[in-house]
Amino acid sequence: MDSPELTARSDVYYAIDYQSVQVDLENNVIKAPLNLASSSDGTIAQTLDLTLTVYQNGIMRMLVEEPGVKRFRISQEDLPVEED
C-alpha cells in the first residue's frame, strides 16, 4: 500500500530583537519579548514575554507569558529552588 510522504513546513517563528534584551546580573535574570513572525510576509502576529532565571548548579527556569496576563504560562515545574 502506497502512502504519501508527510512533510511539516512552517513559515512562522519567534524572533527576539537583540536591542530589547534586558540582563539583570544582580538577580541573574534575562528578559526579552518574543515576537511571533511569518517569514512569508514578516508581520508580527503576537508578542510573548520571555524570562530566563539562572540559579546555582546550572539550573535555569524559562517562563513564557502573555504580557499583562498571568493565566498563560509555560515553565519547568518541580525545580529544587525556593524563591524569596
The beta-carbon contacts of 74-77 under 8 Å, at least 24 apart in sequence, are none
Average of per-residue pLDDT across 60-70: 79
Express each pLDDT in 19-62 by its tens digit.
999 999 999 999 999 888 776 765 555 788 898 988 888 788 88
Is the confidence at residue 65, as pLDDT, over 60? Answer: yes
Q: How far is CA 38 from CA 11, 41, 43, 60, 63, in A?
A: 5, 6, 6, 29, 23
- In the chain, where are the structural domains located? 12-70
Please tell me the predicted confidence (pLDDT) of residue 5: 65
Say if residues 20 and 36 touch (Cβ distance below 8 Å): no
Under 8 Å between Cβ of 77 and 65: no
Q: In the Cβ-directed half-sphere of 35, how many Cα atoms lie within 13 Å?
A: 12
